[in-house]
């Protein structure tokens, strides 16, 4: 498997700059997700790595060799397209055999054997004689995967392969894809706009916006240490609460439109002390705000605007002065619209952003014990959920039966 590196890739289409000095390294066997909204340049990035687009500037390195000017056929990468690009006039078997016929070095028998081998891995053997139009979306996706896998390419490039599947199938395929990737040890560059996919599948996530890298890091880093407002609000559902704040009289924070100032403490205070500007944004995720139905010490008052029950938890929409925040909390609180509710923002987990540039203000220095604990906690959570995923996978029923 190969290591892929992009250096300062710039690509324009007419007046539009699709990629702007994009650089990153995808390690061998790594699963890197490029995450961003539509128009961010994700597909262009993928196509540049594949050789389907040639950058205006910059280099594409595969295993250390400059491949920027090399045609796609020689790069030996595999591509899974969003719409699968299966040839309707060929059977599944012919579709999967097609890549192997390109160089005419494999015998017919070897090709058939390899196709069957890959079909076995993906459990699409019964479909081999069918035409793609006779298959369901999920089946077509597997065939597209299979076609990518037959060649034993050095890297896999996937363009939103799960987007066209219905929600249930998508959840199923996420874990299957991840399992496959681990199993084959495949260097994978995966593109999506779905942050859940990115978080659950990626070893690392690259957040892309308008052709510029916003942040590269592990899911944990992206989630808990976002470099700017864009990353912070793109990942996480419901979205992180962003409150415009400015310094108050007694060294505390005043939220615009809310009369009671917020006491500064923890990590936010460290960040505040390093802040040089005064137009700031306080970011707190819905799960990092504590609620109480009765007034407690250090809690501030808000008014209930709406509540969205999820079953195990509830999202509470609270009005703070002129601002509206969402809080995720256990479902047992009794709420009535218009009634007061008391909240406290966990200042060890909240962030401070510069409101002009959007950049996060680094608290720097020693991390508070609470922070270390919370990071470890999150990490353990993730490990647990990953183990859970594996268990679920073992217990998973066989893939959907082939329709007759």
Partner 1 sequence: MVKTARPADTPAEGSSAGAASITAIPARRRRFLLTDRWIAFLFIAPTIALLLFIAIFPLIWSLYLSFTNYSVNSPTGPQWAGIQNYLNIFADPSISSFFTITAKFVVESVGLEFIIGFGLALLLMKKFPGRGLAVTLLLTPMMLAPVVVGLFWKFMMSQQFGVLNWFISLTGACTVRVTCPDWLNSYPLTPWSMVIADVWMWTPFMLLISLAGLSAIPRYLYEAAEVDRASAWFKFRHITLPLVWPLLLIALLFRTIDAFKLFDIPYVLTGAGPGDATRTISYHLYDLAFNQYDTGTSCALAYIMLVIVIAIANIYIRYLNRASETARQG
Partner 2 sequence: MDISTVLRRTGDVVAYLVIAAALVVFLFPLFWIVDTSFKPFSEVFSIPPKFFNFSPTLENYKHVFVTNTEFTTGGTASSVSTGFQHYFTNSIILAATSTALALALGTATAYAFSRFRIKGANDILFFILSQRMLPPVVVIIPIFLLYRQLNLIDTYQGMIILYTTFNLPFAVWMMKGFLDEIPKEYEDAAMVDGYTRLQAFFKVIIPQALPGMAATAVFALITVWNEFVFGLLLTSEVARPAPPFLVSAQTVGGIDWGQIAAASTIFVTPVIIFTFLVRNYLLRGVTFGAVRR
Can you give the binding site for partner 2, defined by CB under 8 A? 47, 50-52, 71-73, 75, 77-79, 81, 83, 85, 87-89, 98-99, 102-103, 147, 151
- Site string (59-88) toward partner 1, x via CB under 8 A: ----x-x-x-xxx-xx-x------------
Please select the residue that binds partner 1; options are 179, 239, 319, 344, rule is CB under 8 A: 179
Residue number, 47 or 328, with CB nearest to partner 2:
47
Residue number, 41 or 51, with CB nearest to partner 2:
51
Residue 98 interacts with, from partner 2, partner 1, none (CB under 5-8 Å by kind): partner 2
In angstroms, the CA 50 to CA 47 distance is 5
Instruction: Name the nearest CA neighbour of 148 among 96, 187, 191.
Output: 96
CB 342 within 8 A of CB 292: yes
CB 366 within 8 A of CB 284: no
The residues that bridge with 207 in the sheet, in sequence order, are 35, 215
Residue 110 interacts with, from partner 2, partner 1, none (CB under 5-8 Å by kind): partner 1
Q: Does 1 bind partner 1 (CB under 8 A)?
A: yes
Residue 199 interacts with, from partner 1, partner 2, none (CB under 5-8 Å by kind): none
**Would you state the structure tokens that stand for residue 211, as one six-digit string?**
């052709």
DSSP calls for 324-344: EEEEEEETT----TT-EEEEE
CB 243 within 8 A of CB 323: yes
* Cα 201-205-206 angle, rounded to 5 deg: 145
Residue 154 interacts with, from partner 2, partner 1, none (CB under 5-8 Å by kind): partner 1
In this structure, what are the phi and psi dihedrals at residue 110, rounded to the nearest 5 degrees? Answer: -60, -40
Instruction: Report the length, in residues, of the chain.
Output: 404
In angstroms, the CA 284 to CA 18 distance is 32
Cβ neighbors of 98 (< 8 A, separation 6 or more) are 87, 90, 147
Q: Does 176 bind partner 1 (CB under 8 A)?
A: yes
Please select the residue that binds partner 1; options are 8, 16, 120, 381, rule is CB under 8 A: 120
Residue number, 75 or 360, with CB nearest to partner 2:
75
Q: Which residues bind partner 1 (CB under 8 A)?
A: 1-2, 28, 51, 54, 63, 65, 67, 69-71, 73-74, 76, 100, 102-106, 110, 114, 117-118, 120-123, 151-154, 176, 179-180, 183-184, 394, 396, 398-399
């Amino acid at each position: 498997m190969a290591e892929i590196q992009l250096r300062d890739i710039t690509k324009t289409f007419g007046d539009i700059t699709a990629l702007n000095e994009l650089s990153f390294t995808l390690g061998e066997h790594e699963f890197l997700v490029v995450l961003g909204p539509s128009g961010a340049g994700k597909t262009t990035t993928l196509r540049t790595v594949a050789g389907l687009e040639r950058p205006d500037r910059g280099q594409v390195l595969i295993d250390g060799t400059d491949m920027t000017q090399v045609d796609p056929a020689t790069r030996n990468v595999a591509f899974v397209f969003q719409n699968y690009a299966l040839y309707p006039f060929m059977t599944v078997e012919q579709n999967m055999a097609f890549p192997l016929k390109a160089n005419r070095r494999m015998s017919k028998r070897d090709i058939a054997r390899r196709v069957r081998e890959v079909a076995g891995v993906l459990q699409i053997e019964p479909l081999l004689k069918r035409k793609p139009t006779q298959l369901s979306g999920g089946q077509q996706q597997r065939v597209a995967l299979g076609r990518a896998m037959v060649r034993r390419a050095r890297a896999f490039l996937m363009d939103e392969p799960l987007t066209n599947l219905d929600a249930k199938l998508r959840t199923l395929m996420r874990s299957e894809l991840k399992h496959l990737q681990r199993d084959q040890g495949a260097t994978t560059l995966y593109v999506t706009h779905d942050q859940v996919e990115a978080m659950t599948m990626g070893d690392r996530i690259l957040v892309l916006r308008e052709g510029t890298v916003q942040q590269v890091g592990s899911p944990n880093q992206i989630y808990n240490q976002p470099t700017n407002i864009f990353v912070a609000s793109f990942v996480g559902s419901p979205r992180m609460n962003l409150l415009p704040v400015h310094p108050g009289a007694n060294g505390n924070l005043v939220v615009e439109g809310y009369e009671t100032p917020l006491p500064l403490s923890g990590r936010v205070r460290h960040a505040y002390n390093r802040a040089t500007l005064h137009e700031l944004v306080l970011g707190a995720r819905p799960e990092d705000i504590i609620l109480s139905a009765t007034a407690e010490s250090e809690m501030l008052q808000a008014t209930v605007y709406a509540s969205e029950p999820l079953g195990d938890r509830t999202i509470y929409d609270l009005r703070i002065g002129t601002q509206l925040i969402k809080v995720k909390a256990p479902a047992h609180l009794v709420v009535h619209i218009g009634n007061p509710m008391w909240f406290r923002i966990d200042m060890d987990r909240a962030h401070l952003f510069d409101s002009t540039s959007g950049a996060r203000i680094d608290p720097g220095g020693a991390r508070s014990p609470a922070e270390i604990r919370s990071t470890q906690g999150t990490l353990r959570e993730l490990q647990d959920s990953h183990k859970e995923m594996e268990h679920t996978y073992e217990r998973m029923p066989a893939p959907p039966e082939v329709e007759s």
